[in-house]
Amino acid sequence: MPTSRSVIVGSERQPLNNAKPVGPVQPDLRIEATLRLRPSHPYASQDAAAWSDEALAKRRYLTRQEFAQKYAASPADVARIEAFAAQYLLSVVHTNLVKRSVVLCGTAEAFGKAFQTNLENYAHPNGIYRGRVGPLTVPTDLANIVEGVFGLDNRPAARCQFQVRGGSRMITAHTAEVSYTPPQLAQLYGFPSGADGKGQCIGLIELGGGSRPADIDAYFSGLGIAAPNVVQVSVDGAANTPTTPDGSDGEVMLDIEVAGAVAPGATIAVYFAPNTDAGFLDAISTAIHDQTNNPSVISISWGGPESGWTAQAMASFEQLFSDAAAMGITICVAAGDNGSTDGVSDGAQHVDFPASAPHALACGGTSLTVNSDGSLNETVWNDGSNSATGGGFSANFPVPDYQSQLPNSPSGRGVPDVAGDADPNTGYSVRVDGQQMVIGGTSAVAPLWAGLIALLNQQLGKPVGYFNPLLYGTLASEGVTNDIVIGNNGAEQAGPGWDACTGWGSPIGAKLLQALQS
């Protein structure tokens, strides 16, 4: 076997905080891991600098088929991975050239030898998980082929970014409480009329929980609108598995009901995957390359502090979002619900990932009430350190080109880009497992914006696609958002223009459509 080996860049892993090793994984335990491979041809046009205003205005994107022809993995590279797997007694379960992935299966002992790592069980307050410490290596002749290895560690990758009014994570600072249905919010935010999302597909990424058809029918019947067509897609063996209202069902139903009520004519494709880094990546890759449902916008309401991710995972997510940009797919991601620390108790500021990926449209949160004259009273959502919009500056991603003109010289990619109502005290009226509930969190903002993007795509006749350069460029002076100037999320303060609490602000849908049309 080859003796010369190289470290997979960014594969270093540390245990979760408060986790303790409790013994090695059984050597004969059979597990699966996903290898992400390089594209067959170098990327020629996905540099941020290549997205000129002229190109974006014309929105000349690749089709999924064109992208696959240009950037799929090389069969020769796959053959070399298959030979490597055979050397270490690993079997190839599945290969997908378009998604550039190879899934391997074998014993924990075989994987340990193949990637020179030790797999151990760790006890954590939230349960037992399989983990590793340090980097992974591969034979040097594969180092330029393998971009990442995922699945050896099966710790939960992300948390859902929603909060139930009155739930344990809320610190209520309001004396009055109101709630809105998604159509009411669409009206308050001036979403364009005469569109229902017909011909569009909204993809939802879910890492647990499920929905019940009876709840969907009852909810939309109560709104007086037709229920959308909801399609379930299983990824890595996960499936629609409803449990209880206080679990992940709240996330799944919130996403379906918000996106579906805003754009009831759109197909809602729900991608269920395991809550691991491998499952999360596979779900996003499946949605992006789905030539059956063809989502034009994807909503992600799951994430976690950047400090909890490996560099290889963050690089692979960002590459997938860049792939989506090339195909005209907008990625809306919740910015987090734990203020400027993102729930990390180390005294530093943190932003949530994958919202911090430069090719994501990061969605922050506001508190929204309506004045007696019908005007909006909107401030930064902040009910305390564990119930406030995420926002700040990335420690992993440098300032992208589209943010280079922001004042005060940001230290890294600024989060969020846009915002919407997220305060549970001014939250969304939804139905979960037979119960009427009011839910908030930036989890609701991502599907709200995704629904708006679907409406815009329908009326434009072409996808909005990679929205960020337009948002920070030609649209910045067009008055297409409500500028939020009052409030903070802890360390970050709102102010005129873009800020690291609510980005450019909440949408003014009709003005946004008009600006895009012109």
Q: Is it the case that residue 297 has pLDDT exceeding 50?
A: yes
Q: How many CB atoms lie within 10 A of CB 478?
A: 16
For 366-393, what is the mean pLDDT?
A: 94
Q: Is it the case that residue 491 has pLDDT exceeding 90?
A: yes
For 319-324, what is the mean pLDDT?
A: 95
Q: Is it the case that residue 167 has pLDDT exceeding 70?
A: no
Is the pTM value of this prediction over 0.85?
A: yes
The pLDDT of residue 55 is: 53
For 213-240, what is the mean pLDDT?
A: 96
**Beta carbons of 201 and 288 less than 8 angstroms apart:** no
What lies within 8 Å, CB to CB, of 220 at 6+ separation is 226, 227, 228, 257, 260, 261, 264
The pLDDT of residue 428 is: 95
H helices within 62-190, ranges in order? 64-71, 75-87, 108-115, 182-188
Location of structure tokens 């976690």? 304
Out of 170-174, 208-212, 339-343, 348-352, least confident range:
170-174
| Alpha-carbon span 369 to 417, nearest angstrom | 22
Q: Distances from the Cα of 357 to the Cαs of 183, 287, 296, in angstroms?
A: 29, 17, 19
**Rg value, the chain, Cα:** 22
Residue 168 pLDDT level (bands cut at 50, 70, 90)? very low
For 195-204, what is the mean pLDDT?
A: 97
Residue 244 pLDDT level (bands cut at 50, 70, 90)? confident
The pLDDT of residue 56 is: 52
Q: Is the peptide bond before 447 cis (omega within 30 degrees of 0)?
A: no
Q: Is it the case that residue 171 has pLDDT exceeding 50?
A: no
| Alpha-carbon span 156 to 103, nearest angstrom | 19
- Residues carrying an active site annotation: 251, 255, 443
Q: Characterise 292 by phi-psi region: left (phi > 0), alpha (psi -120 to 50), beta (else).
A: alpha
Among positive and negative, which fits the CA dihedral 125, 126, 128, 129?
negative
| Alpha-carbon span 398 to 406, nearest angstrom | 13
What lies within 8 Å, CB to CB, of 390 at 6+ separation is 334, 335, 336, 337, 338, 339, 340, 342, 351, 352, 355, 364, 365, 415, 416, 442, 489
Q: Is it the case that residue 50 has pLDDT exceeding 80?
A: no
Among positive and negative, which fits the CA dihedral 284, 285, 288, 290?
negative
Q: Characterise 25 by phi-psi region: left (phi > 0), alpha (psi -120 to 50), beta (else).
A: beta
Residue 498 pLDDT level (bands cut at 50, 70, 90)? very high
The pLDDT of residue 425 is: 94
187 phi/psi in degrees, rounded to 5: -70, -45
- Residue 415's SS3 state is strand
Q: Is it the case that residue 95 has pLDDT exceeding 80?
A: yes
Q: Is it the case that residue 518 has pLDDT exceeding 90?
A: no
Q: Is it the case that residue 60 has pLDDT exceeding 90?
A: no
160 against 265, higher pLDDT: 265
Q: Cα-Cα-Cα-Cα dihedral of 44, 49, 53, 57, to 10°?
A: 30
Location of structure tokens 């647990």? 208
For 264-284, what is the mean pLDDT?
A: 97
User: Which pLDDT tens digit goes with each residue over 464-489?
Assistant: 999 999 999 999 999 999 999 999 99
Residue 17 pLDDT level (bands cut at 50, 70, 90)? confident
| Alpha-carbon span 98 to 35, nearest angstrom | 13
Bridge partner residues of 351 (DSSP):
none
Q: What share of the chain is helix, strand, coil (3-state, %, to 5)?
A: 30, 25, 45
**Beta carbons of 272 and 81 less than 8 angstroms apart:** no
Out of 32-46, 244-258, 313-327, 357-371, least confident range:
32-46
207-229 per-residue burial string, b: 16 or more CB within 10 A, e: under 16: bbbbbbeebbeebbeebebebbe
The pLDDT of residue 44 is: 56
Average model confidence (pLDDT) for the chain?
A: 92
**Beta carbons of 497 and 233 less than 8 angstroms apart:** no
For 134-146, what is the mean pLDDT?
A: 96
What lies within 8 Å, CB to CB, of 299 at 6+ separation is 202, 203, 204, 205, 255, 259, 332, 333, 446, 447, 449, 450
| Alpha-carbon span 319 to 444, nearest angstrom | 25
For 353-373, what is the mean pLDDT?
A: 97
**Beta carbons of 422 and 364 less than 8 angstroms apart:** yes
Structure token pair of residue 122: 């760790």
Domain 159-517 has CATH 3.40.50.200: yes
Q: How many CB atoms lie within 10 A of CB 397?
A: 21
Q: Is it the case that residue 49 has pLDDT exceeding 50?
A: no
Q: Is it the case that residue 326 has pLDDT exceeding 50?
A: yes
The pLDDT of residue 161 is: 67
Nearest Cα neighbor of 455 from 516, 504, 378, 369 is: 516
Residue 158 pLDDT level (bands cut at 50, 70, 90)? confident
The pLDDT of residue 65 is: 94
For 39-44, what is the mean pLDDT?
A: 76
User: Which pLDDT tens digit goes with each residue over 422-465?
Assistant: 999 999 999 999 999 999 999 999 999 999 999 999 999 999 99
What is the location of CATH 3.40.50.200 in the chain?
A: 159-517
304 phi/psi in degrees, rounded to 5: -170, 170
What lies within 8 Å, CB to CB, of 273 at 6+ separation is 205, 206, 207, 235, 236, 238, 279, 280, 282, 283, 286
Q: Characterise 199 by phi-psi region: left (phi > 0), alpha (psi -120 to 50), beta (else).
A: left
Q: Is it the case that residue 216 has pLDDT exceeding 50?
A: yes
Nearest Cα neighbor of 391 from 357, 356, 367 is: 356
Q: Is it the case that residue 256 has pLDDT exceeding 70?
A: yes
Percent of the chain beyond pLDDT 70?
94
410 against 155, higher pLDDT: 155
Q: E-assigned strands of 307-453? A: 330-334, 352-353, 361-370, 376-380, 392-393, 414-415, 418-421, 426-432, 435-440
